[in-house]
Protein backbone atom coordinates (compact mmCIF):
# COMPACT_ATOMS: atom_id res chain seq x y z
CA UNK A 1 0.00 0.00 0.00
CA UNK A 2 1.28 3.47 -0.83
CA UNK A 3 2.66 5.21 2.18
CA UNK A 4 2.15 8.83 3.06
CA UNK A 5 4.80 9.74 5.60
CA UNK A 6 4.31 12.65 7.98
CA UNK A 7 6.51 14.16 10.62
CA UNK A 8 5.40 15.57 13.96
CA UNK A 9 4.28 18.80 12.27
CA UNK A 10 2.10 16.91 9.87
CA UNK A 11 4.41 17.50 6.93
CA UNK A 12 5.00 14.53 4.68
CA UNK A 13 8.47 12.96 4.72
CA UNK A 14 10.12 9.93 3.12
CA UNK A 15 9.59 6.33 4.14
CA UNK A 16 11.90 3.71 5.49
CA UNK A 17 13.89 1.29 3.34
CA UNK A 18 11.75 -1.18 1.43
CA UNK A 19 12.33 -4.90 1.53
CA UNK A 20 12.97 -5.30 -2.19
CA UNK A 21 16.72 -5.63 -1.83
CA UNK A 22 20.00 -4.22 -0.58
CA UNK A 23 19.91 -0.41 -0.77
CA UNK A 24 22.14 1.06 -3.44
CA UNK A 25 21.46 4.70 -2.74
CA UNK A 26 20.13 6.05 0.53
CA UNK A 27 19.24 9.71 0.99
CA UNK A 28 18.42 10.89 4.47
CA UNK A 29 16.85 14.27 5.30
CA UNK A 30 18.36 15.88 2.23
CA UNK A 31 17.94 19.63 1.87
CA UNK A 32 19.24 21.54 -1.09
CA UNK A 33 18.51 24.51 -3.32
CA UNK A 34 19.84 27.34 -5.41
CA UNK A 35 21.52 30.35 -3.84
CA UNK A 36 19.75 31.17 -0.61
CA UNK A 37 16.52 29.46 -1.68
CA UNK A 38 15.73 25.94 -0.51
CA UNK A 39 14.04 23.60 -2.94
CA UNK A 40 14.45 20.22 -1.24
CA UNK A 41 13.37 20.07 2.37
CA UNK A 42 14.29 16.96 4.28
CA UNK A 43 13.94 14.41 1.49
CA UNK A 44 14.58 10.77 2.41
CA UNK A 45 14.40 7.82 0.06
CA UNK A 46 16.34 4.82 -1.08
CA UNK A 47 16.90 2.84 -4.24
CA UNK A 48 17.46 -0.89 -4.05
CA UNK A 49 19.51 -3.11 -6.31
CA UNK A 50 17.97 -3.74 -9.71
CA UNK A 51 14.87 -1.60 -9.26
CA UNK A 52 13.55 1.30 -11.28
CA UNK A 53 12.17 4.12 -9.20
CA UNK A 54 9.97 6.76 -10.82
CA UNK A 55 10.26 10.23 -9.37
CA UNK A 56 7.03 12.00 -10.17
CA UNK A 57 5.31 15.26 -9.34
CA UNK A 58 4.21 18.51 -10.88
CA UNK A 59 6.68 20.92 -12.46
CA UNK A 60 8.85 22.77 -9.98
CA UNK A 61 8.47 20.42 -7.03
CA UNK A 62 12.19 19.58 -6.93
CA UNK A 63 12.59 16.41 -8.98
CA UNK A 64 15.46 17.66 -11.11
CA UNK A 65 17.00 19.39 -8.09
CA UNK A 66 16.99 16.05 -6.31
CA UNK A 67 18.88 14.34 -9.15
CA UNK A 68 21.29 17.29 -9.38
CA UNK A 69 21.90 17.12 -5.65
CA UNK A 70 22.71 13.42 -5.89
CA UNK A 71 25.21 14.31 -8.64
CA UNK A 72 26.66 17.10 -6.45
CA UNK A 73 25.71 19.64 -9.09
CA UNK A 74 23.67 21.36 -6.39
CA UNK A 75 25.13 21.78 -2.96
CA UNK A 76 23.88 19.52 -0.19
CA UNK A 77 22.72 21.90 2.56
CA UNK A 78 21.66 19.23 4.99
CA UNK A 79 21.32 15.49 5.28
CA UNK A 80 23.30 12.61 3.87
CA UNK A 81 23.44 10.65 0.66
CA UNK A 82 25.26 7.34 0.54
CA UNK A 83 26.02 4.88 -2.24
CA UNK A 84 26.48 1.27 -1.15
CA UNK A 85 26.87 2.50 2.41
CA UNK A 86 29.57 5.07 1.67
CA UNK A 87 28.92 8.81 1.75
CA UNK A 88 28.82 10.33 -1.72
CA UNK A 89 31.77 12.59 -2.59
CA UNK A 90 31.20 16.33 -2.81
CA UNK A 91 32.67 16.77 -6.30
CA UNK A 92 30.56 15.81 -9.31
CA UNK A 93 33.37 14.01 -11.14
CA UNK A 94 33.97 11.91 -8.03
CA UNK A 95 30.26 11.04 -7.84
CA UNK A 96 30.55 9.76 -11.40
CA UNK A 97 33.66 7.80 -10.48
CA UNK A 98 31.75 6.34 -7.53
CA UNK A 99 29.33 4.84 -10.02
CA UNK A 100 26.41 7.20 -10.66
CA UNK A 101 25.60 8.21 -14.23
CA UNK A 102 23.28 11.08 -15.07
CA UNK A 103 21.30 11.83 -18.20
CA UNK A 104 20.01 15.36 -17.76
CA UNK A 105 16.86 16.89 -19.13
CA UNK A 106 17.74 18.22 -22.57
CA UNK A 107 20.39 15.51 -23.07
CA UNK A 108 23.42 17.82 -23.03
CA UNK A 109 25.34 15.90 -25.61
CA UNK A 110 28.59 17.39 -26.88
CA UNK A 111 27.31 18.81 -30.12
CA UNK A 112 30.76 19.33 -31.69
CA UNK A 113 31.83 15.76 -31.02
CA UNK A 114 30.93 12.85 -33.21
CA UNK A 115 28.65 10.16 -31.84
CA UNK A 116 31.72 7.96 -31.29
CA UNK A 117 33.56 10.74 -29.44
CA UNK A 118 30.50 11.38 -27.28
CA UNK A 119 30.30 7.73 -26.35
CA UNK A 120 34.02 7.39 -25.74
CA UNK A 121 33.96 10.44 -23.49
CA UNK A 122 31.81 8.36 -21.18
CA UNK A 123 34.52 5.71 -21.04
CA UNK A 124 37.46 8.04 -20.59
CA UNK A 125 38.26 6.56 -17.18
CA UNK A 126 38.10 2.95 -18.38
CA UNK A 127 41.15 0.91 -19.28
CA UNK A 128 42.02 1.35 -22.95
CA UNK A 129 41.79 -2.33 -23.80
CA UNK A 130 38.31 -2.57 -22.25
CA UNK A 131 36.83 0.35 -24.19
CA UNK A 132 36.08 -1.45 -27.51
CA UNK A 133 34.11 -4.13 -25.66
CA UNK A 134 32.17 -1.53 -23.67
CA UNK A 135 31.41 0.41 -26.85
CA UNK A 136 30.29 -2.72 -28.64
CA UNK A 137 27.99 -3.68 -25.78
CA UNK A 138 26.41 -0.23 -25.68
CA UNK A 139 25.89 -0.26 -29.45
CA UNK A 140 23.95 -3.49 -29.13
CA UNK A 141 21.47 -1.53 -27.00
CA UNK A 142 21.43 1.39 -29.44
CA UNK A 143 21.83 -0.07 -32.95
CA UNK A 144 20.49 3.17 -34.42
CA UNK A 145 23.67 4.92 -33.28
CA UNK A 146 25.97 2.49 -35.05
CA UNK A 147 25.35 3.97 -38.48
CA UNK A 148 25.90 7.50 -37.15
CA UNK A 149 29.16 6.94 -35.28
CA UNK A 150 31.08 9.46 -37.36
CA UNK A 151 28.34 12.09 -37.52
CA UNK A 152 28.39 15.15 -35.32
CA UNK A 153 26.19 14.73 -32.26
CA UNK A 154 24.69 18.16 -32.87
CA UNK A 155 23.01 17.13 -36.12
CA UNK A 156 21.17 14.11 -34.71
CA UNK A 157 17.43 14.18 -34.13
CA UNK A 158 16.09 14.61 -30.61
CA UNK A 159 15.39 10.90 -30.25
CA UNK A 160 18.85 9.93 -31.48
CA UNK A 161 20.40 12.45 -29.13
CA UNK A 162 18.45 10.94 -26.25
CA UNK A 163 19.71 7.49 -27.14
CA UNK A 164 23.22 8.89 -27.41
CA UNK A 165 22.91 10.54 -24.00
CA UNK A 166 21.74 7.30 -22.37
CA UNK A 167 24.41 5.31 -24.21
CA UNK A 168 27.10 7.75 -23.13
CA UNK A 169 25.95 7.47 -19.52
CA UNK A 170 26.08 3.67 -19.76
CA UNK A 171 29.62 3.89 -21.16
CA UNK A 172 30.70 4.95 -17.67
CA UNK A 173 29.67 1.42 -16.52
CA UNK A 174 27.56 2.88 -13.72
CA UNK A 175 26.11 1.23 -10.65
CA UNK A 176 23.13 3.60 -10.65
CA UNK A 177 21.57 5.54 -13.51
CA UNK A 178 19.67 8.81 -13.15
CA UNK A 179 17.38 9.71 -16.04
CA UNK A 180 15.72 13.11 -16.15
CA UNK A 181 12.68 13.19 -18.44
CA UNK A 182 14.01 10.76 -21.07
CA UNK A 183 10.82 10.96 -23.14
CA UNK A 184 10.47 14.73 -23.16
CA UNK A 185 10.08 16.09 -26.68
CA UNK A 186 10.59 12.68 -28.27
CA UNK A 187 8.25 11.32 -30.93
CA UNK A 188 6.16 8.30 -29.86
CA UNK A 189 7.95 5.64 -31.92
CA UNK A 190 11.30 6.71 -30.43
CA UNK A 191 9.76 6.67 -26.95
CA UNK A 192 8.85 3.03 -27.62
CA UNK A 193 12.43 2.33 -28.66
CA UNK A 194 13.76 3.96 -25.50
CA UNK A 195 11.25 1.92 -23.50
CA UNK A 196 12.53 -1.29 -25.09
CA UNK A 197 16.10 -0.28 -24.36
CA UNK A 198 15.27 0.37 -20.71
CA UNK A 199 13.63 -3.05 -20.53
CA UNK A 200 16.79 -4.64 -21.91
CA UNK A 201 19.07 -2.69 -19.60
CA UNK A 202 16.94 -3.73 -16.69
CA UNK A 203 16.89 -7.38 -17.71
CA UNK A 204 20.53 -7.72 -18.69
CA UNK A 205 22.41 -5.23 -16.55
CA UNK A 206 20.23 -5.27 -13.42
CA UNK A 207 21.05 -1.60 -13.17
CA UNK A 208 19.04 0.41 -10.64
CA UNK A 209 17.53 3.52 -12.22
CA UNK A 210 15.90 6.66 -10.88
CA UNK A 211 13.73 8.13 -13.58
CA UNK A 212 12.10 11.54 -13.46
CA UNK A 213 9.11 11.32 -15.75
CA UNK A 214 6.06 13.41 -16.58
CA UNK A 215 4.84 10.69 -18.92
CA UNK A 216 2.93 8.64 -16.34
CA UNK A 217 2.14 5.85 -18.77
CA UNK A 218 5.84 5.41 -19.40
CA UNK A 219 6.67 5.58 -15.70
CA UNK A 220 3.97 3.08 -14.76
CA UNK A 221 5.11 0.64 -17.42
CA UNK A 222 8.75 0.60 -16.33
CA UNK A 223 9.06 1.52 -12.69
CA UNK A 224 8.88 -0.82 -9.71
CA UNK A 225 8.20 1.95 -7.27
CA UNK A 226 7.30 5.62 -7.32
CA UNK A 227 8.28 8.58 -5.23
CA UNK A 228 5.81 11.44 -5.50
CA UNK A 229 7.10 14.91 -4.69
CA UNK A 230 5.35 18.08 -3.69
CA UNK A 231 6.95 21.35 -2.60
CA UNK A 232 10.41 19.86 -2.17
CA UNK A 233 9.31 16.83 -0.16
CA UNK A 234 8.42 13.24 -0.93
CA UNK A 235 4.77 13.05 0.04
CA UNK A 236 3.79 9.59 -1.14
CA UNK A 237 5.73 6.54 -2.17
CA UNK A 238 4.97 2.96 -2.86
CA UNK A 239 4.95 0.19 -5.43
CA UNK A 240 4.04 1.40 -8.89
CA UNK A 241 0.75 -0.50 -8.92
CA UNK A 242 -0.22 1.47 -5.83
CA UNK A 243 -0.12 4.69 -7.83
CA UNK A 244 -3.86 5.27 -7.77
CA UNK A 245 -6.02 7.78 -9.57
CA UNK A 246 -6.54 9.47 -6.22
CA UNK A 247 -2.80 10.08 -5.81
CA UNK A 248 -2.51 11.18 -9.42
CA UNK A 249 -5.42 13.54 -9.00
CA UNK A 250 -4.10 15.02 -5.79
CA UNK A 251 -0.40 15.39 -6.57
CA UNK A 252 0.08 15.23 -10.30
CA UNK A 253 -2.86 16.81 -12.12
CA UNK A 254 -2.45 20.53 -12.68
Residues that bind another protein (CB under 8 A): 71, 73, 91-93, 96-97, 101-102, 104, 108-113, 117, 120-122, 124-125, 154-155, 168, 172
The smaller minimum CB distance to another protein, of residues 44 and 163, is found at: 163
**Smallest distance, another protein to C-beta of residue 237, A:** 26
* Min dist. Cβ of residue 157 to another protein (A): 12
Angle at Cα 236 formed by Cα 230 and Cα 237, nearest 5°?
A: 125
Q: How far is the CB of 74 from another protein (least distance, A)?
A: 11
Which residue, 71 or 139, has its beta carbon nearer to another protein? 71
CA distance 173 to 68: 19
Q: 41 or 96: whose CB is closer to another protein?
A: 96
The residues, any chain, with a CB within 8 Å of residue 45's CB and separated by 6 or more, are 14, 15, 26, 27, 53, 227, 234, 237
Order of strands, sheet of 76-83, starting from the edge strand that comes earlier in the sequence: 37-48, 23-34, 76-83, 86-87
Cα separation, 153 vs 136, in Å, equals 18
Which residues are within 8 A (CB) of 87 and not within 5 positions of it... i.e. 6 or more apart?
A: 80, 81
Q: Which is nearer to another protein, 100 or 235 (CB)?
A: 100
Amino acid sequence: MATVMKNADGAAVGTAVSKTGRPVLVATDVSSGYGSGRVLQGVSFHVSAGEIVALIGRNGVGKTTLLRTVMALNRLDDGEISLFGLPLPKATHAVSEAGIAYVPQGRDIFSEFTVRENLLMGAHASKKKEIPAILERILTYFPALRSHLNRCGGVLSGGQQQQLAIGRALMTTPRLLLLDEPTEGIQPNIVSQIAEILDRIRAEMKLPIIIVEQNLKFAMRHADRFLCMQKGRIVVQGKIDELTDAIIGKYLKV
